[in-house]
Amino acid sequence: MTKTISINELKVGMFIAGIAKCRGNFALKKPGFVTSQASIDALISKGVEQLHIDPNKKLPDENKAQGLEATQSQPRTRYDAPLVSVEREMEQAKALHNQARQLQKKAFRDLEKGHNLDVEAFKELGEGLMDSMFRNPQALTMMTRIRQKDEYLLEHSINVGILLGVFGRYLKLDEKVIADMVTGGLLHDIGKLRVPEEILHKPGKLMPEEFEQMKRHVLHGRDIIDENQVVLPKTTMEVIVQHHEQLSGAGYPKRLVGDEISQYGRMASIVDIFDALTGERVYKKAMLPTAALSIIRSMAPDKLDQELVNAFIRCINVYPVGTLVKLQSGRLGIVVEINEKAPTRPMLKLVYSAKFNRHINVEMYNLAQYESDKIVSAEKPEAYGLELKNYI
């Protein structure tokens, strides 16, 4: 009897009976054993998402040595795994991002109907997101720049989970801690489902009493977890209940001060503010990443942790992937890959001429190779009638 598993569960030595789900037209030529990690990587690159395996079949004797050697060569942790290119990882990142959107929508519907929250599904999603982050963190970071109208709450939670994972990877935190932070990010605003719609989507400034109701979403989130009789890791709960606390004690819900806020709560606060500032809301326009980072920098060290703020800016860069920038030459390009040795000279995808106000043939442009050209500003895509999703 076969069993269906995700591509992330596939291991060397398993017997593949067939493909269950694939984004492309790839078809398995014949059933067989997985004898190397290269075979798994090839399936990932082909867009395979789910497979049918036969758990009763074992690797034949003649392949045992090869399979054992491949298993032993596997990285001990995700940190040991080699990076893949952004281009190679983008399709997987898109699929994971879409999976996250569907899970969030299902969770919202379930809670609105009084059903239980499937926390295990969020944990499983978090593991898949982590796999992608460690293969190349810039692909999923790019996906956080794709926004849909009227879906802020859903997208914001996904983005915070992703950015927390990328941030944790940059700081080289333990994998288990990162996984717990990602889960916390995905669930951090779940309590907003209990905030009245007229307050949650009010186009104008909230009245003091309305803001008090809005602030309760943190405790609502904690209550939802408790009502589902789920025991989440301490790190996950710190992200959920501390992401609005500030070092000065001016945050909420407990007005924690300084060291009363954990490292993970401090990280969540930085990430939450950044994504909120760069997201479109009913009462405000989206802010450029460069402007958002400037505001975050101004909030340290009084409200935000100075060391962590500096690390976050280095992590995502002054011009994060997905940012539209204008060059001295007058062309506009989307940052698609950061050059770690020269952060202000990234790889760009050129899409538009601001000089002639027209679209141009899309081409890759490694700014590090052209000293005569440089970034002069970050730009809003809508100012030029551009949609990032058409180029990513």
The verdict on 18 and 147 lying in the same domain is no
Same domain, 198 and 264: yes
Question: What percentage of the chain carries pLDDT values higher than 90?
Answer: 70
Is residue 288 in some structural domain? yes
Residues 187 and 299 grouped into a single domain: yes
Q: What digits encode the pLDDT tens for the residues 247-288?
A: 999 999 999 999 999 999 999 999 999 999 999 877 788 999
**Whether residue 135 is found in the same domain as residue 241:** yes
pLDDT confidence of 64, banded at 50, 70, 90? very low
- Angstrom distance (rounded) from CA 127 to CA 120: 11
Whether omega before 289 lies within 30 degrees of 0, making that bond cis, reads no
144 alpha carbon, distance to own chain's centre: 6
Is 379 contained in some domain?
A: yes
290 and 163 share one domain = yes
Looking at the predicted structure, is the pLDDT value of residue 173 above 80? yes
Q: Where residue 29 falls among pLDDT bands split at 50, 70, 90? A: low
Q: Is 199 inside a domain boundary?
A: yes
Q: Are 97 and 244 members of one domain?
A: yes
Looking at the fold, whether 115 and 227 belong to one and the same domain comes out as: yes
* Contact call for residues 348 and 367 (beta carbons, < 8 A): yes
152 and 54 belong to one structural domain? no
Looking at every residue in the chain, the average pLDDT score rounds to: 90
Does some domain include residue 23?
yes
Residue 81: inside a domain = no
**Quick one: pLDDT at residue 75?**
53
| pLDDT digits 0-9 by tens, 275-333 | 999 998 777 889 999 999 999 999 999 999 999 999 999 999 999 999 999 999 999 99
If asked whether residues 144 and 118 sit together in one domain, one would say: yes
- Any bridge partners for residue 327, and if so which? 375
Residues 103 and 213 in one domain: yes
Q: What is the pLDDT of residue 72?
A: 41
- Tell me if 126 is assigned to some domain: yes
Q: Which of 6-20, 50-64, 183-197 has the highest mean pLDDT?
A: 183-197
Q: Which residue do the tokens 């926390």 mark?
A: 119
Residue 186 belongs to a domain = yes
User: pLDDT at position 260, please?
Assistant: 98
The two structure tokens encoding residue 52? 């049918």
* CB 131, CB 78: distance < 8 Å: yes
Count structural domains, the chain: 3
Cα distance between residue 323 and residue 350, in whole Å: 12
Whole-structure pTM over 0.85, yes or no? no
One domain for residues 286 and 303: yes
Give the chain's end-to-end CA distance (angstroms, integer). 40
8 A C-beta contact, residue 46 and residue 52: no
Of the three residues 75, 106, 128, the one that is the final residue of a domain is: 75
Domain housing 282: 86-316
SS3 label, residue 220: helix
The pLDDT-based confidence of 36 (bands split at 50, 70, 90) is confident
Backbone dihedral angles phi then psi of residue 157, each to the nearest 5 degrees: -65, -40
pLDDT at residue 181 is higher than 80: yes
Examine the domain organization and report whether 163 and 307 are in the same domain. yes
Residue located via tokens 């990443």: 289
Pick the last residue of a domain from 316, 351, 380.
316
